[in-house]
Copies of this chain bind each other. A is one copy, B any other.
Amino acid sequence: MITRMSSLFLRTLREDPADAEVPSHKLLVRAGYVRRVAPGGYTWLPLGLRVLRNIETVVREEMDAIGAQEIQFPALLPREPYEKTGRWTEYGDGLFRLKDRKGADYLLGPTHEELFALTVKGEYSSYKDYPVVLYQIQTKYRDEARPRAGILRGREFVMKDSYSFDLDDEGLSRSYQLHRDAYIKIFDRLGLEYVIVAATSGAMGGSASEEFLAVAETGEDTYVRSTGSGYAANVEAVVTPPPPARSLEGLPEAQVHHTPGTPTIATLVEYLNTKTDLGRTFTAADTLKNVMVKTRQPGAKEWEILGIGIPGDREVDQKRLEASLEPAQVALLEEADFAANPFLVKGYIGPKALQDNGIRYLVDPRVVTGTAWVTGADKADHHVVDLVAGRDFTPDGTIEAAEVREGDASPDGQGTLVAARGIEIGHIFQLGRKYTDAFEVDALGADSKPIRITMGSYGVGVSRLVGAIAEQHHDELGLVWPRAVAPADVHVVIAGKDESVFAGAEQLAAELDAAGVRVLLDDRKATPGVKFADAELIGVPTILVVGRGLAKGVVEVKDRATGDREDVPVDEVVARLVKLVRG
């Protein structure tokens, strides 16, 4: 295929678009790959569509290779199935909802768990039918609160979503592993640097769950990784390694102190170190901060008040707290709640009042038996010192609610954690029976008894990958596509005005085309400077410059990524490039 720049629907821009913050967004717009139509809505111009399709092909090949079968659902879906699973309301503002001319409720599919489950139920009935893995590469819709970074977080986007249906948990594990392996192949083929992080399963329910994050400083997903091992995890999924429990022997008695005007950790530590004579220096890490929240289970009417105890040197991480309490909803206490529970003395809440009043009390995993804390004495301006866990109070359990910090010990015991950022490009997880329960998806077993099917759910952000790859593969001059996704194999720049140069370049392009090489031919009447700049911006991996050297039988081959240039005899260059392209 020869694509001629003289007629290609492409106009490159010299200036970054005003609304673009990240390099991939700037460059994909400047190089004429995408254009914005609405917030989070983009048009794919010819070169962009090619990259998108190349990625789709890689994804499709690897899905087919694990025996997954491609189908395609509508994007416009009726309310009923989503009502049945509760997602019609749970999805909140993130769901695009609409009515048809008869007033019936519809939605634009954000993911298709319901439809896949219903379809398998509709076609399959016997245990002999299973397992099955189905997938689609399809346009999805989510009304993101803050669409950003161009195609990295759009409101209309292309996703590969697949779903496995198995008779039992071992089957689900196998399907999960097949996907995990396929995703590794996909992202490797696409030339991505990525990490696989342990994840929580979010609002989808389920058990094992991992995310594939493309490493990128501009990514909006934060994760942590270990300096001493391959460990990586979503911040929400980090499990705090508890210190060993300590002996209660010989620990000092708990003592209540008058600590006027110390409702915060900072004022408390300051007071203890300057206004008391306890013979020790206290730090925030010696204090136990009790944060009050209330939670409500899905479908429940009543809220439950909950106390969360974490070391005073750490803040509560709202996302970790919410992930720990899912699927329950979490809210802060309101004035009315404090009024209704006068034993909660703001700024001075301690474990005792909570436990005396039947309030569930969960603590950070660092609060192990034998650790001594300064904490609230349930009385204004008073704290208790040397309150010992396992002696003076017994929590109802632990909770991962404290922030994760760089330097924290890695959960696998090797090295410490550092923070990093990435772009979520894939997510695999064991969904379990949430959807098959909702729709009673059963297989008739060999013993004629029904077997409830278990599901896995697996997504790849196909259009987002265009952005993620661009984010990793660019330099100050423009895009630098990996060969597997590039919109062409060779960018032929005609650097000269002579007819003979044009004719020579056309000849080479034709020979390359005949050999199956995809050629982007810059046959425009423009200066070499303009053409070179556009070639760097567009980012085809190999640039062939046909210019004055042609008269001496020489053309130049340039590697876009390394910048290496080499003069090559014109009668050798086609064979050289064909070899290069075929790898």
Bound-complex Cα distance A37 to B114 (A): 11
A562 CA to B132 CA, complexed, in Å: 36
Interface string of A87-100 (1 = CB under 8 A from B): 00000011011101
Query: A507 on the interface (CB 8 Å rule)?
Result: no
Cβ-neighbour of A98 out of B67, B98, B119 (below 8 A): B98
Please tell me if A141 contacts chain B, counting CB pairs below 8 Å.
yes
Is A244 close to B, CB under 8 A? no
B106 engages A38 (CB within 8 Å): yes
A138-157 Cβ-contact flags toward B at 8 Å (1 or 0): 01010101000000000110
With known contacts A9-B132, A97-B98, A124-B11, A75–B73 Cβ distance under 8 A: no
Q: Mark A110-154, 1 if CB is under 8 A from B, else 0.
A: 000001000100111000000010100001010101000000000
User: Does A357 sit within 8 A of B, measured CB to CB?
Assistant: no
A8 in contact (CB, < 8 A):
yes
A101 within 8 A of B: yes
In the complex, which residues of chain B have a beta carbon less than 8 angstroms from the beta carbon of A8?
69
Contacts of A448 in B (CB 8 A): none
Shortest Cβ gap from A42 to chain B (Å)? 7
Cβ of A313 to closest chain B Cβ, rounded Å: 38
| A-B pairs with beta carbons under 8 Å apart, 30 shown | A7-B132, A9-B69, A9-B132, A9-B134, A10-B123, A11-B123, A32-B123, A35-B119, A37-B78, A38-B77, A38-B106, A41-B77, A41-B78, A42-B74, A43-B72, A43-B74, A43-B115, A44-B72, A49-B70, A49-B71, A52-B72, A75-B139, A75-B156, A76-B96, A76-B155, A93-B101, A96-B98, A98-B98, A98-B108, A101-B143
A208-232 vs B: 1/0 string, CB under 8 Å?
0000000000000000000000000
Residue of B nearest to A118 (CB): B37
A52 CA to B115 CA, complexed, in Å: 20
Partner of A145, one of B7, B101, B119, B123: B101
8 A Cβ contacts from A299-318 to B: none
**Docked-complex contact B44 and A143, CB < 8 angstroms:** no
Asked if A74 and B37 make an inter-chain contact with CB atoms under 8 angstroms apart, the answer reads yes
CB atoms of A78 and B38 under 8 A apart = yes
Q: How far is the CB of A132 from chain B (nearest CB, A)?
A: 6
- Annotate A317-360 by CB proximity to B: 1 below 8 A, 0 otherwise: 00000000000000000000000000000000000000000000
A75→B156 CA distance, assembly (Å): 8
Give the residue name and chain of the B residue nearest to A157 (CB). B74
CA A98 to CA B99, docked complex, whole Å: 8
**Contact of A72 with B96 in the complex, beta carbons under 8 Å:** no
Q: Which residue of B lies closest to A3 (CB)?
A: B69
Tell me the minimal C-beta distance from A26 to chain B in angstroms: 17
Chain B residues positioned under 8 Å from A496 (CB to CB): none
